[in-house]
Structure formats: C-alpha cells, structure tokens
Amino acid sequence: MRSLLRTASIIFPIILLPIKTHATVIELNTYLGGSEGKLANKPALIYKFSDGSQQNRCSIITTENYLVNAKNRLENINLSEPNFYFDCVWDGRYYFLSNRHRTYAEVIIKQPDMNFPMSMHIEAKLINIIGEHAEVISGDISLRRSKK
C-alpha cells in the first residue's frame, strides 16, 4: 500500500496553493460629519469617516445610551454588542461585522481639552460577502469638520 501511495504522489503531485491572507487596508483620516438615526429602535448617533475621497467611507452608529456609558471605548466583537455597529463601503465593496467570522470594531473616544477637539481613534477587522477581509486603522481623527 505504501508503494502505491508513493507512486501515486509521483504521478499526481499535490499542489499546495497559498491561502489568501491579503486584506484590504482602510486608512481613515477625515471626519465627514454626523447625524442622528436609530439602532435597534433606539435613538442613535451616526459618524462618517473617509480617506478624503468621495467614494470610500466608513460609518459608526451607536445608541446614545451606549455612547454615554461606554467610558470612551466602543467595542463590538463578532456582533456581540447590539448598541454599536461599524461598516465600510470601500472601492465598491461593502465590509461589515459578522458573527460567523472573526471580526471586531473598536473606537477610542478622546475627550476635548483646551488644545485639542474631541477625536476618535478607530480600529476594525471587517469582512465582505465573498470572504475578503478589510483592516481599518486611523490616527486620532478630530470630530471637527474640515472646511472645503
């Protein structure tokens, strides 16, 4: 039996293809503005960010209550937090949080002081419908809208 397997592996070599590990990297640096909305039928706040382009954008939506009680840190791992959601439309693809794949979103809110306005630092790992991953990163993004 061993010689048969050895012969088969010579005749039909096994080709190992690398697993796709490349992820789209989304670098946010621009606050586009905020609005009010609803999440799980509760009042919510929506914040929009981009890389400065018109077609690429990410959104944070969080209930007002969660935002107030989160102690400056919003977190959602595999859709475990119903009061905070994060998604992106990037290069024509929609990336989102999932409870079937390892995904997360974390937002650190930096409160304003005399020298700096309120800002957000964002990190996330999202997925799209065909299984492609996106890694979202940002520096501290001021929540002041830039003048055009």
pLDDT recorded at residue 145? 66
pLDDT recorded at residue 144? 82
CA distance 62 to 127: 20
For 147, the token pair is 């003048």
Distances (CA, A) of 43 to 47, 98, 146, 148: 14, 23, 26, 30
pLDDT recorded at residue 9? 46
- Spans of the chain below 50 pLDDT: 4-5, 7-9, 12, 14-19
pLDDT recorded at residue 85? 97
Is residue 103 within 8 A of residue 125, CB to CB? The reply is: yes
pLDDT recorded at residue 147? 58
9 SS3 class? helix
26 SS3 class? strand
pLDDT recorded at residue 146? 61
Q: Say what the pTM is.
A: 0.81
